């Protein structure tokens, strides 16, 4: 797909500095771009690349001021990263395959009605009483259990398993190998030291516009529902336990684990490998650094990191103290020797 810088700028409500007729036919990172590529500059630490990039055009903020000559055409927009995301989604919508129909062998239970534009890949299984909207894409080797509800424009990539009774909203995307609705980890200790399994009779509800990465697991509730609210984005290899609620527009990076019955508010950002204890609450608009441990409830509008997690500035100070700990220990030993010698 080829487009001129002028045409692209019109699409994104941008303004141009440089050659508006330059042709763009690909996308690339600023340090790897070649002639014909569109790239972007959103993070200031990459600014030095803009003076040497071979890209034909670069998305920059409207207030960007170049300190040296820039050979590439600049397309000035409010938010380069958001603009690039919009463009890539547009290109993907044009170029991505849109399979339709039912491949064989696959199994669709009697009475299940496929919505308009549906696709069912080979070796997929669709259970009794499944309801689905239009433009649902079920790729090969997907399992959809009895009574599952799928909204419009849902995509289940190869190997996804949706256990019985779970509900998935509109425009959701679930990547390969993810399991939704497996049993929560409910085990009752017995007097003889053994454990009795507690039946998990709830479901999982995933609201609209949720994306879930590969090999993530979301457990069904013991009773009631585990709920992933609208707009949530989960990375690969995440564990969400039974009866957890994840609030709107919350994002979690890979290997986050959330224990049972924890309630998470909206617009939170979790770094990779964050561990969250069970039966606590986390408010809204928090930023939680990678590998943090969250043993207790957290309010709103906080930036925390560490295990146990503490405010980010305090954590930074502690890191400085830790680096100086060896010198401080030596200083104390020296002082003790001086005191002993003079006593």
Residues assigned a catalytic role: 242
As to burial, measured by CB atoms within 10 angstroms (0-12 exposed, 13-18 middle, 19+ buried), residue 296 is: exposed
Alpha helix ranges (H) inside the chain:
5-12, 80-95, 312-323, 325-342
Are the beta carbons of 57 and 72 closer than 8 angstroms? Answer: yes
User: Which neighbouring-strand residues pair with 226?
Assistant: 204
Whole-number Cα distances in Å, 252 to 176, 292, 334: 17, 12, 48
SS3 state of residue 80: helix
Quick check: 210 and 233 in contact, CB under 8 A? yes
Going 107 to 109 to 112 to 113, the CA torsion angle's sign is positive
From residue 234, how far is each of 213, 247, 271 by CA, in Å?
A: 6, 12, 11
| Alpha-carbon gap, residue 168 to 174, rounded angstroms | 10
Give the span between the Cα atoms of 294 and 289, in whole angstroms: 11
93: helix, coil or strand?
helix
To which residue do tokens 């009574």 refer? 147
Cα end-to-end distance, the chain, whole Å: 85
Cβ atoms of residues 98 and 116 within 8 Å: no
Provide CB contacts within 8 A for 129, sequence distance 6+.
109, 111, 112, 146, 147
In Å, how far from its chain's centre is CA 102? Answer: 30
The conformation of residue 65, written as its DSSP 8-state character, comes to: -
């Amino acid at each position: 797909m080829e487009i001129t810088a002028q045409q692209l700028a019109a699409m994104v409500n941008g303004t141009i500095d440089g050659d508006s007729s330059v042709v763009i036919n690909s996308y690339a990172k600023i340090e790897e771009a070649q002639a014909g590529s569109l790239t972007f500059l959103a993070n200031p630490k990459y600014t030095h690349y803009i003076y040497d990039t071979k890209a034909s055009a670069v998305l920059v903020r409207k207030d960007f001021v170049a300190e040296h000559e820039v050979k590439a055409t600049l397309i000035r927009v409010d938010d380069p990263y958001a603009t690039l995301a919009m463009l890539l989604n547009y290109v993907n919508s044009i170029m991505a395959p849109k399979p339709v129909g039912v491949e064989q062998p696959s199994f669709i239970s009697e009475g299940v009605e496929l919505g308009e534009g549906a696709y069912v890949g080979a070796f997929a299984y669709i259970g009794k009483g499944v309801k689905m909207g239009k433009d649902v894409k079920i790729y090969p080797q997907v399992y959809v259990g009895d009574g599952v509800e799928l909204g419009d424009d849902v995509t289940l990539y190869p190997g996804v398993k949706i256990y019985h009774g779970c509900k998935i909203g509109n425009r959701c995307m679930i990547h390969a190998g993810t399991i939704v609705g497996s049993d929560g980890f409910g085990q009752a200790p017995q007097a003889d030291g053994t454990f009795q399994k507690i039946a998990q009779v709830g479901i999982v509800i995933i609201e609209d516009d949720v994306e879930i990465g590969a090999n993530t697991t979301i457990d069904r509730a013991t009773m009631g529902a585990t709920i992933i609210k609208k707009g949530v984005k989960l990375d690969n290899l995440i564990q969400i336990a039974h009866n957890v609620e994840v609030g709107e527009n919350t994002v979690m990076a890979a290997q986050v684990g959330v224990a049972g019955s924890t309630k998470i508010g909206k617009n939170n950002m979790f770094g990779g490998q964050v561990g969250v204890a069970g039966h606590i609450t986390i408010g809204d608009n928090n930023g939680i650094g990678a590998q943090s441990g969250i043993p207790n409830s957290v309010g709103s509008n906080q930036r925390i990191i560490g295990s146990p997690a503490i405010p980010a500035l305090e954590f930074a100070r502690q890191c400085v103290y830790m680096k100086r700990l060896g010198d401080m220990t030596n200083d104390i030993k020296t002082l003790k020797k001086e005191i002993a010698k003079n006593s």
